[in-house]
Structure 1
Amino acid sequence: MDTLDLREYIRPLLRWWWLILLAALAAGTASFLYLRQQPPTYEARTTIMVGTGLQDPNPNNSQLGLSQTLAQTYADMARRAPLREATMAALQLSKLPEYTVSVAPDSQVIEITVIDQDPQLAYVVANELVRQLIRQSPAGREEQDRENFINQQLDQIEAGIEETEAEIDRKREELAGLFSARDIANTEAQIAALQTKLSTLRANYASLLANSQRGAVNKITILEPASLPTRPLPSNILLNVLAAAMVGAVLAASGAYVLELLDDSVRDEEDVRRRLQLPLIAAVPTARGPDPLVMAKGLPSAATEAYRGLRTNLQFCNVDQELQVLLLTSPAPQEGKSVTTANLALALAHLGQRVILVDADLHRPVQHRLFKLPNKVGLTNGLLAVSAGGQVEVERLLQPTGVPTLRLLTSGPLPPNPAELLGSRRMKELLAQLRQEADVILLDSPPATVVVDATILATLADGVLVVLRAGRTRRARAQRALESLQNVHARIIGAVLNGASVKASYYSHPEYGYGINPQAATSGGGGSLLSRLRRNQPASDDAPGLVQPGPGLPSQPRPGNTK
């Protein structure tokens, strides 16, 4: 996996890092506030054992295996409703606290843990659960009293066996010291009677023991009774908050990838280069202020420097052919092509080049509004007058803009058939006349995917510049626009990305120190660059001759009319 692919995978995380951070903070904060409001909880724990494997000095595998199986069965019984209901009935409760029943691996030990905010309730419930579980065993139910009686009898018989054995030993000692035949016979008779009694006691003991729980496999013994808890459980607030923050971050990261998958817009330079396979000529950030013509304000900003970078890049690209007629279009409306065209025209005019801006959008023209000029006469007048056999001088159609080397050819009255007019022979002748009047001609056309006007004009231009808007232009629509231009073999120079982040602009580094100089803004009469030029004041933007000539857009004025 190369670095580019890795960057592509983590790009959603880098783009939505603020959302991930915000989600983690929100989840962590909510978890902290919730945990702080929770009352302390207490835990009561009791441990029981199934079988008598620990008391038996020689247990066999079958007994241990059966005891472990019974332990699993009793644990399952403790989790079921009958035992819970019996416990609630015994304690007169409507609901039991939370409790868990677990069996240690490969053992006969069952552990019951009860957690509640009331330590006394946890203690009582833990012990009652064990008592109810014992009642479910053979030692429980109605046989408990019988078991107690048998145990008492066993204890008495054990005592009788011990006394009889001691009496037999004593008689045997007496027998060793006797010499009379009669005494010897009596003592031996007593010993025989005692042995008969001992045999009877042992038989009775064995019979009772067989009916008791002593040594039984299916028997429950309490190893550790529950005790009253005195300290609450640790809250682990920090661990829980970190876990909640991590969950929030993971969910937000998943959402970022979903948003990235659903978002079909062109977002940054990488999308332009990788998705659309277009060279990025300039990335223009959104201009501040109500006036979109930032190149006419004369104030340094990232947007003005981006337009200057666009001008310079156009001058030094496409070394094989000069770009005198440049068409600017966009895939869809509201993507800033007209504003980009106007600012590029101003940037070129500031170098002293003779620029003619043609508003070829015969559907929704805006250049006359940007420059605050009338639109009574324009491009359509020139085309229709010649079509009707009249003669119209190009000079009479061009309007001055206040910048000495920039003139505007507005759209004129809107016709019912824009495509036919733009594709006519007269349009070619008009462009040929304009080539004699200007160093650079910029054509502002309608969007390429809305009408065919842009495709028609692309065949007349030396190059096409596609204007995109970050976060608005859809990749699929941009691809359709490029395909329509490529179908007529248009020469696509590259793309301009409007609305780019300030970081994406090549001229936004803080070391440049872009800002408004108070003295420059208030001295010398003030006002915008366009206002100063209208008062015939020298521009402080760029002076002709400061940029070296390039093989792209001409950087030196051509001889001819500069009105």
Structure 2
Amino acid sequence: MELRDYLRVIRRRWILIALCVVVCTGAAAAYTAAATPQYQSTARLFVSTAQSDTADAYQGGLFSAQRVTSYADLVSSRQVATRVIDELGLDMAPERLSQAVSATVTPETVILEISATDPDAERAQAIANTYADELTEIVRELETPEGGGAAPIRASVVDRAAVPTSPVTPQPVRNLGLALVLGLLLGVGLAVVRELLDTTIKSKDDLDDITEAPTMGAIAFDAATSRQPLVTALESHAPRVEAFRVLRTNMQFVDVDATTKTFVVTSSLPAEGKTTTACNLAITLAQAGSRVVLVECDLRRPKVAGIFDLDSAVGVTTVLVGRVSLDDAVQKHGGTGLEVVTSGPIPPNPAELLQSQAMAQLLVDLRERYDIVILDAPPLLPVTDAALLTSQSDGALVVVRHGKTTRDQLRGALDRLAQVDGTVLGTVLNMAPVRRRSGGDGGYGYGYGYGYGYGYGYGPEEAKKAAKGSKREGRRAAKRRQSD
């Protein structure tokens, strides 16, 4: 992963990172608040030998340096702890007291520091001073020869312990700082791991990595879509309406020299929004003045009739079996000029009907009557219907659900189309998260929807890529957007 990949991960997973930071910081704050303050007091000892001249002083210094390390180990002995407990009258075991006391030797010196830690500041001072006194006494006892006489080495207290004024633990600033760093590292780590394990498609870059087909547009997620699936029920400046206008403009640049166009709208799996995308694309194309017909070719789980509130008794199946004529099966959607052919009764053999000669003739008849024919087809992975229809049309528009469709699923769907030499006209990222743009009023105005379309990278460049035309065609696309 490159630096920009990590930045993209942080931008996508910032909530997870922030949650880790909050949890770690909260845990550190709770621990700091609940921890008992500990005070530390330190006494210093000097280990020396008796010498008569310079040579003896040098040898004595080396001897003291060797001995002082052994005296540091004596501090943790049970004997010294027992003496200190008896002297101070402490109610604790020697082992527990030894754990609260530490001894360190200052490097390249004969200075021994004894530190005692205790919740009571005055008791910490008393323990450190008593340890220093007892250690000097033990050193004298150990170093005195058996026959009597002066000890060759002695330990002297040079700096008695003082009463500490502030606790050494807990340290709120240090604890919270470490928790913040730990939370960031943990959050970024989890975000990267989750990103590597997450194979769903979330951006135009993800689509570009899978297919060379252009990304025609992005449709914002709207919780009200289930209740109001059609853009005709929304305000003209709503984000979803603007997004479909961008999609319409880009689709108009596909095969610009063709007098009629037949598009298949499909997806990898169900519940990716391909039917609502087909319906709204057909509506926006019809509103632009084109003669458009929407044909429901999903003969397994038809939904178009319910979305438009049309009669489902007649449709594609009744036309294919010869029960009614095409004229009788066509129904009009009021106010938009769109004409719709619903699926009709669900047949027992959808695939056979869609690849029949009657279906081929139906597509020929539709091409003769309309400028644009949009076929709402079933998903590609569960059944072969969409692939069969794509082979008989100008190409397929594949709908991809943001955060739901995986890379492998989309690759599998595109392979289905490649097996029948079907053309992939482009992809549509559906149910994309809404992202407000700065510089506007922050509302759902025209500038918002217009900026939304461009903000995701589905603007003139995508239109030119889809058309593979000249700069003049690109300028025409920009003018059409302004007129919208």
TM-score (norm 2): 0.81
**Equivalent pair of 2:36/2:170 in contact (CA under 8 Å):** no
Shift of 1:129: 3.2
Determine the structure 2 residue equivalent to 1:127: 129
Q: Map residues 94-173 of structure 1 onto 2, 5 A cutoff.
A: 94=93, 95-96=96-97, 98-131=100-133, 133-134=135-136, 137=139, 139-140=140-141
Q: Tell whether 2:195 aligns with 1:260.
A: yes
Q: Tell whether 2:332 aligns with 1:357.
A: no
Q: 1:320 to 1:242 in 2, by over 3 A?
A: farther
Q: 1:410 to 1:45 in 2, by over 3 A?
A: same
- Structure 2 unmatched ranges of 5 or more: 447-472
| Matches of 1:250 and 1:371, distance apart in 2 | 52
Determine the structure 1 residue equivalent to 2:468: none
1:213 corresponds to which of 151, 162, 180: 151
| Matches of 1:502 and 1:53, distance apart in 2 | 84
Deviates more, 1:486-495 or 1:312-321: 312-321
| Matches of 2:6 and 2:13, distance apart in 1 | 13
**Aligned partner of residue 140 in structure 1, secondary structure:** helix
Q: Tell whether 2:65 aligns with 1:68.
A: yes
Q: Tell whether 2:434 aligns with 1:432.
A: no
Q: Tell whether 2:269 aligns with 1:269.
A: no
Shift of 1:356: 1.3
Deviates more, 1:94-103 or 1:58-67: 58-67
Shift of 1:382: 2.0
**CA displacement 1:204-239 (0-9 Å, x = unmatched):** xxxx4xxx214x3xx433232323335545965334
Shift of 1:455: 1.3
1:514 corresponds to which of 433, 436, 444: 444
**Equivalent pair of 1:324/1:440 in contact (CA under 8 Å):** yes
Q: 1:459 to 1:241 in 2, by over 3 A?
A: same
Q: 1:61 to 1:345 in 2, by over 3 A?
A: farther
Determine the structure 2 residue equivalent to 1:279: 214
- Which amino acid is 1:279 matched to? P
| Matches of 2:438 and 2:275, distance apart in 1 | 23
| Matches of 2:220 and 2:395, distance apart in 1 | 24
| Matches of 2:218 and 2:239, distance apart in 1 | 10
- Which amino acid is 1:333 matched to? P
- Which amino acid is 2:208 matched to? R
**Aligned partner of residue 358 in structure 1, secondary structure:** strand
Determine the structure 2 residue equivalent to 1:530: none
Q: Tell whether 2:41 aligns with 1:44.
A: yes
| Matches of 1:417 and 1:89, distance apart in 2 | 97
Deviates more, 1:79-88 or 1:112-121: 79-88
2:333 corresponds to which of 378, 397, 401: 401
**Aligned partner of residue 498 in structure 1, secondary structure:** strand
| Matches of 1:59 and 1:322, distance apart in 2 | 112
Shift of 1:75: 2.5
| Matches of 2:376 and 2:283, distance apart in 1 | 14
Determine the structure 1 residue equivalent to 2:17: 20
**Equivalent pair of 1:315/1:550 in contact (CA under 8 Å):** no
Shift of 1:247: 1.9
Determine the structure 2 residue equivalent to 1:6: 3
Q: Map residues 408-557 of structure 1 onto 2, 5 A cutoff.
A: 408-503=340-435, 510=440, 514-515=444-445
Shift of 1:258: 1.5
| Matches of 1:21 and 1:346, distance apart in 2 | 42
| Matches of 2:372 and 2:352, distance apart in 1 | 25
**Equivalent pair of 2:259/2:371 in contact (CA under 8 Å):** no
| Matches of 2:403 and 2:52, distance apart in 1 | 77
Shift of 1:98: 3.2
**Equivalent pair of 2:299/2:350 in contact (CA under 8 Å):** yes
- Which amino acid is 1:118 matched to? D
**CA displacement 1:245-278 (0-9 Å, x = unmatched):** 2222221111111111111110122212234444
| Matches of 1:120 and 1:368, distance apart in 2 | 86
**CA displacement 1:429-460 (0-9 Å, x = unmatched):** 11111112221111111111111111111101
Determine the structure 1 residue equivalent to 2:464: none
Q: Tell whether 2:251 aligns with 1:314.
A: yes
| Matches of 2:255 and 2:199, distance apart in 1 | 30
**Aligned partner of residue 448 in structure 1, secondary structure:** coil
**Equivalent pair of 2:287/2:336 in contact (CA under 8 Å):** no
**Equivalent pair of 1:318/1:551 in contact (CA under 8 Å):** no
**Equivalent pair of 2:39/2:169 in contact (CA under 8 Å):** no
Deviates more, 1:444-453 or 1:414-423: 414-423
- Which amino acid is 2:326 matched to? V
**Equivalent pair of 2:265/2:374 in contact (CA under 8 Å):** yes
Determine the structure 2 residue equivalent to 1:93: 92
**CA displacement 1:483-504 (0-9 Å, x = unmatched):** 2212222111111001112238
**Equivalent pair of 1:323/1:462 in contact (CA under 8 Å):** no
**Equivalent pair of 2:234/2:241 in contact (CA under 8 Å):** no
Determine the structure 1 residue equivalent to 2:467: none
Determine the structure 1 residue equivalent to 2:316: 379
Deviates more, 1:329-338 or 1:94-103: 94-103
| Matches of 2:424 and 2:438, distance apart in 1 | 27
**Equivalent pair of 2:210/2:411 in contact (CA under 8 Å):** no
Q: What is the aligned-residue identity percentage?
A: 33
- Structure 1 unmatched ranges of 5 or more: 151-207, 517-547, 556-563
- Which amino acid is 1:254 matched to? G
Q: Tell whether 2:182 aligns with 1:247.
A: yes
| Matches of 1:401 and 1:104, distance apart in 2 | 92
Determine the structure 2 residue equivalent to 1:531: none
**Equivalent pair of 2:316/2:342 in contact (CA under 8 Å):** yes
**CA displacement 1:468-521 (0-9 Å, x = unmatched):** 1111111111111112212222111111001112238xx9973696349xxxxx
**CA displacement 1:126-172 (0-9 Å, x = unmatched):** 234335544654x236x87x89x95xxxxxxxxxxxxxxxxxxxxxx
Q: 1:79 to 1:331 in 2, by over 3 A?
A: farther
- Which amino acid is 2:444 matched to? Y
**Aligned partner of residue 124 in structure 2, secondary structure:** helix
Shift of 1:372: 1.5
Q: Tell whether 2:37 aligns with 1:35.
A: no
**Equivalent pair of 2:299/2:343 in contact (CA under 8 Å):** yes
Determine the structure 1 residue equivalent to 2:458: none
Deviates more, 1:480-489 or 1:25-34: 25-34
Root mean square deviation of aligned Cα? 3.4
**Equivalent pair of 1:380/1:415 in contact (CA under 8 Å):** yes
